Amino acid sequence: MMVSALQLPTELWLQVFSFLSWKDKLSMRGTCSHFKRLMDGSLPLWRGCSVVLRDLSRYNRAFWRSLARRQLSSVSLRAGRKKDLKLLAVWLPLLQELRLDSWRGSEVQELRRFRHLHRLTLTACSTPLANLDFLLPLSEQLTELSLCNMKLTCPTSQLLARISQLTRLRSLLLHHDGNLLIPTLRGVLPQLVHLQSLSCTMINYKRLSLDFFRPATGAGGGASLPLTELQLLNYDAAVTQEVLQPLANLRSLSVFHLYSVPGPICHLQTWLTSLPQLCSLSVHGGHPLAVYADFLPSSLLSLTLCVDLQPEDLHVVSVRAPNLQHLHLEPWSSSSNLVRMLPQLFPCLKTLAIRHHHVLDEDFLGVHQLQHLKTLEVLDSFYRPDPNDPSLVVYKPSPRLLQLISDLQKLTNHKIRVITSSHRDLLRCGCI
């Protein structure tokens, strides 16, 4: 017997809708007035969703009422003006997360209107920022601040002074093209007692000074910083174990090397030797894995390798990090001889990210032997349908890949979640 949509319980429909993407939710909402009422009346259904807005004059009052009804908390606003921030503050006064792309530096002063904002990202301002006074009204509420590809005409001392007043900050990102030189972080890090994550561009540095991370003597010179996550972009600076002593609490390190052709010294060896409790490591570029594989700490649970490596290097990794649970493998060379080795080398894996091109079907399907695997991400879900036209690329899974995924699901009784496209956080910068 057929049952109409009106007869099914509301809770059942909302459970079904919860599995849909933001785009699919909007499509389903437009199918009928019944679904529109159900979806608009459920705040949890829209929790965590972000929206990208541009040219706010295009949107009518019905659109704004729809966003306000869902209590949308996350917005990315591109190429706007002061009046746009005013309008946004009127309709979404409870906004918690905001990203501003390609704004004029003088326009961001209107951010003071957002009294509940705790996450702010500024990227690629079209004019320089003469000062950072707009941060003052936000000093008691911001927990995450990202300044990416910004041109600052204010002194570095003023930048650090303003940032050090954000006493609730847990995450700080400073990315630039080399225009910003911060000799040391000793004056700002001790003030940010809750800071756990730091991401910095390091293109200016040849060598890190002894006090780069060390708190000032008056603030407990021998104390460790609360930092647990550190991300270094365009890094090729010499460092000593003494410099890294304040980072005893660090659990996650990501290094994006400046040069594809490395220098004579592998500075990563010093980092790994100084951080024996490291749980997560991500390396992009730099020296081949063989140069520092013997220095990997046994505490590693997560490893990302976008480097030059050979099959024998993975054997070393498996010995050094026997309990690895998360592996992102994107070697500069082919993956064809690597994927078949993974079930034997890393039996504890729970998540795995790999390429599938040039990998034999039986090797790809062999990942079903990973008994604890929950998520598999395919990093190259594209194909070239015409062998005679290599320039034609279709950016979606090929028929072959779809068949491989189907076969893998059957082998594992659908216990593995397979991802073929990554969904980026809209508020994150695009540097990495």
Q: What is the pLDDT of residues 305-363, one digit of tens each?
A: 999 999 999 999 999 999 999 999 999 887 778 999 999 999 999 999 999 998 999 99
Percent of the chain with pLDDT over 90: 53
Beta bridge partners of 76: 52, 99
Phi first, then psi: give them for residue 218, nearest 5 degrees.
-70, -15
pLDDT of residue 329: 96
**Angle 344-291-276 from CA coordinates, rounded to 5°:** 75
pLDDT of residue 217: 53
pLDDT of residue 124: 79
- Residue 223 reports pLDDT greater than 80: no
Cα–Cα distance measured from residue 267 to residue 85, given in angstroms and rounded to the nearest whole number? 45
Q: Is residue 168 packed enough to be buried (19+ CB in 10 Å), middle (13-18) or exposed (0-12)?
A: middle
Percent of the chain with pLDDT over 70: 95
CATH class given for the domain over 1-47: mainly alpha
Of 373 and 260, the one with more pLDDT: 373
C-beta atoms surrounding 248 within 10 Å: 14
When pLDDT is cut at 50, 70 and 90, the band that residue 261 belongs to is low
Average pLDDT of the segment spanning 174-201: 87
pLDDT of residue 422: 65
Average pLDDT of the segment spanning 385-413: 92
Domain spans of the chain? 1-47, 51-127, 346-423
Residue pLDDT, tens place only, 1-27: 445 656 678 888 878 877 777 678 778
DSSP summary character for residue 36: H
- Residue 218 reports pLDDT greater than 60: no
